[in-house]
């Protein structure tokens, strides 16, 4: 085979794929071990995903990402649009249990949200390492999401706050789970309570956002 043919043959070999995060990624404040990559996430992201956006993001986390965090995202987005923070802050929501990734958002919550003029996204999304790394402020809405950020604290470079500190004095520390209720409990009351609590906490959060991430 001539040298020319050798070069031509070699050029047909497939290039290695780079869409899987390497076993070790390091930035100024971030390091991910191979063990953590293999056991924590089914990740397929280019390392450039870890670069911070120009506009800071507020990330709401809940167990499934199907009801509470999507509602909080839209309530907060609506408040920001009406404030001086419009265009300066993004809002996102994720679930911390991968079993619910791509599940439809709670239809009952969509109905309740529509009554206050909000439209929720159609599917839940699982929180990945890039989501955590790129968030300037992460808000945990339940015990599951608090445990999640503790386990994956290596990925978090922004601020983390539990939703409880933005709720009314004397309230429970978390937003109630719409699915975790007694059979005799009134469904309307549970959803009304969730919407009321999220609306109150997001309004309070809005007032401290400039000090936290801007």
Q: What is the pLDDT of residue 7?
A: 41
Give the torsion sign (CA, 37, 40, 46, 52). Answer: negative
- Please list the ranges in the chain whose pLDDT falls under 70: 1-53
Give the integer Cα–Cα distance in Å for 27 and 88. Answer: 25
Q: What is the pLDDT of residue 15?
A: 38
- Helical segments of the chain, H only: 3-11, 34-40, 68-81, 107-115, 129-134, 143-151, 187-213
Q: What is the pLDDT of residue 197?
A: 97
Q: What is the pLDDT of residue 46?
A: 38
Q: What is the pLDDT of residue 31?
A: 34
CATH number of 54-213: 3.40.50.2300
State phi, psi for 16 to the nearest 5 degrees: -65, 140
Can you give the residue ranges of every domain in the chain?
Answer: 54-213
Evaluate whether 157 touches 131 at the Cβ level (below 8 Å): no
Evaluate whether 131 touches 59 at the Cβ level (below 8 Å): yes
Q: What is the pLDDT of residue 121?
A: 79
């Amino acid at each position: 085979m001539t040298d020319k043919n050798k070069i031509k043959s070699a050029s047909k070999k497939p290039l290695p794929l780079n869409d899987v995060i390497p076993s070790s990624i390091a930035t100024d404040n971030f390091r991910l071990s191979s063990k953590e990559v293999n056991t924590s996430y089914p990740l397929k992201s280019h390392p450039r995903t870890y670069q911070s956006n120009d506009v800071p993001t507020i990330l709401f986390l809940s167990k499934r990402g199907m009801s509470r965090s999507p509602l909080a995202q839209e309530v907060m987005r609506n408040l920001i649009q009406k404030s001086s923070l419009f265009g300066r802050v993004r809002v996102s929501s994720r679930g911390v249990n991968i079993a619910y990734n791509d599940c439809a958002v709670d239809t009952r919550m969509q109905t309740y949200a529509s009554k206050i003029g909000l439209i929720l996204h159609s599917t839940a999304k699982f929180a990945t390492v890039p989501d955590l790394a790129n968030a300037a402020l992460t808000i945990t809405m339940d015990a599951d999401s608090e445990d999640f950020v503790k386990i994956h604290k290596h990925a978090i470079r922004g601020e983390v706050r539990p939703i409880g500190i933005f709720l009314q004095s004397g309230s429970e520390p978390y937003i109630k789970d719409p699915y975790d209720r007694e059979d005799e409990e009134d469904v309307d009351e549970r959803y009304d309570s969730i919407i009321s609590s999220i609306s109150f906490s997001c309004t309070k959060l809005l007032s401290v956002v400039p000090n936290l991430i801007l």
